[in-house]
Amino acid sequence: MTRPGLPTRGHHVFVPPFGDADRVVVDGDEGHHLAGVLRVRAGQPVSLADGSGAVFAAEVEDVDRRSVTVRIGQRYHLPRPSPSLCVVQSLPKGKKMEEVVQRLTEVGVDRIRPVVSERTVKRPDGKADRLQDRWEAIARAAAQQSRRARLPVIDPIGEWPVPGAVGVVLWEEAVLPLSEAVRGLPEAPEIVVAVGPEGGFTPREVEASGLTPCALGPSILRTETAGVVGASLVAHLLGRMG
């Protein structure tokens, strides 16, 4: 689903801010992707986002081997959601974090914070920078596919718990439903949904987090599924999903 009134035709790409220019050259990786992979042609519609909330309807004017010149049409601006939505995800096994980043980006999460907790099996082991680069690339591709106005922030890998956070922690031993937990939260600029690794958070970690423990339902979801479901429900309760 796309927000009514925004451009919905053609490919969607992120570009650096370009002010009031009526023509923009899309180059670099994005230009190569449009010209060499997607093979756009003059006259085709595209949309651009500059990461600030501005979205531009545009039309391809000229295509070079590695760049595309577009003519800017109608301009839109989406205000930043308030409160923002952050998912704190304890690192899962294998490459599951890539799926987590992709899905959370698609459902509109503003910030993704990977953390290491007591039961985390996969540890960064000197690969944190490379992993973050990979996740940011996945988030960018997902944001373009889902036509977002802003890219999600992918934080560096941190430690759990997160001091001062306001929100909920998904915990299989909790009895309070997520909907009740969210309605009982104090006002805050950012709402956190925390998700444990395979095996979940320990009781000590849940207590130390300061977050409200809550349940998604009677079944136990995989870690790579729980965050997406929890974030989607919280976004809906915050009025962000229609």
Residues 66 and 98 in one domain: no
Q: Does 83 sit behind a cis peptide bond, omega within 30 degrees of 0 on the bond before it?
A: yes
The Cα 134–Cα 216 span in angstroms is 30
Residues 93 and 200 in one domain: yes
Residue 172 has φ and ψ, to the nearest 5°, of -65, -20
In tens, the pLDDT along 106-116 reads 999 999 999 99
pLDDT confidence bin for 234, thresholds 50/70/90: very high
Asked if residue 62 lies in contact with residue 23, where contact means CB atoms within 8 angstroms, the answer is: no
* Range of the structural domain that residue 16 is part of: 11-77
Contacts of 9 by beta carbon, 8 Å cutoff, 6+ apart? 45, 47
In tens, the pLDDT along 36-64 reads 999 999 999 999 999 999 999 999 999 99
- Of 33, 50, 77, the position where a domain reaches its end is 77
pLDDT at 126: 87
Indicate whether 4 pLDDT > 80.
Answer: no
Instruction: Please name which of 168, 164, 110 lies closest in space to residue 139, comparing C-alpha atoms.
Output: 110
Indicate whether 13 pLDDT > 50.
Answer: yes
- Of 22, 53, 77, the position where a domain reaches its end is 77
The Cα 50–Cα 15 span in angstroms is 5
pTM of the model: 0.93
Q: Determine, yes or no, domain membership for 1.
A: no
